[in-house]
Amino acid sequence: LTLVVDSVGGLRPYFNGDGTAAAADTLLGRVTLNGYALGRLDSLFLRGGIAGENLNIRGVRARRLDGTFAIADALRSPSGQINADLVDSVRVGGLVFDTLRTAITLVDTTEARFAVNGRALAGDSLTMSALGTWRLLAGATAVRMDSFALAFADSRWTLERPATLFTDSTTLRID
């Protein structure tokens, strides 16, 4: 099974909660999914690889994406693992990484755990790491950041204690 999205911008409506199109330059690039499906529709297992090039997804830019996925019960209650490496001049905000590694564990349709690690060996030896959980709760989204560290040159910033960002259609709150 192969799916090629030549302009990731074609997926734009799926990234806005209200179904409207995002600004024209927030979603660009090419993504290819190669994999297979195994089992029955009531217990479908998906496994495969993800490749991308020249990506711009809401301000995160990368020349290349390499990854894998393994998702059990894909149509009813998905759970599993998605791993993705963004490589070659990855830009997040004003920071430029050589590599940004992401591991996402899908617990179910309402919860996922994530780990993100970035590094840039040139210049000031930029590093970043983050661990947390994403949850969908009765129409609201909660992102709990359990740990976060950012370092370059002689500077290092860390999250003093876990923090949670809540958002719904009317509210944005940080605890």
Q: Give the per-residue pLDDT at 4.
A: 60
Task: Decide: residue 67, CB within 10 A, 0-12 exposed, 13-18 middle, 19+ buried.
Answer: buried
Cβ–Cβ contacts within 10 Å for residue 29, how many? Answer: 20
Contact of 119 with 99, CB cutoff 8 Å: yes
Q: Give residue 110's identity as a one-letter amino acid code.
A: T
CA 168 to centroid of chain Cα atoms:
20
Contact of 22 with 41, CB cutoff 8 Å: no
Q: What's the rounded Cα separation, in Å, for the pair 74 and 79?
A: 7
Q: Give the per-residue pLDDT at 58.
A: 75
- 0.85 surpassed by pTM: no
Q: What's the rounded Cα separation, in Å, for the pair 119 and 127?
A: 4
Tens-binned pLDDT, residue by residue, of the chain (175 aa): 555 655 555 555 555 555 555 555 566 788 888 999 999 988 899 999 999 888 887 778 888 999 999 999 999 999 999 999 988 888 888 888 999 999 999 999 999 999 999 999 877 789 999 999 999 988 899 999 999 999 988 899 999 999 999 999 898 999 8
What are φ and ψ of residue 138, in 5° steps? Answer: 45, 55
Q: What's the rounded Cα separation, in Å, for the pair 164 and 133?
A: 9
Q: Give the per-residue pLDDT at 86.
A: 86
Q: Give the per-residue pLDDT at 7.
A: 58
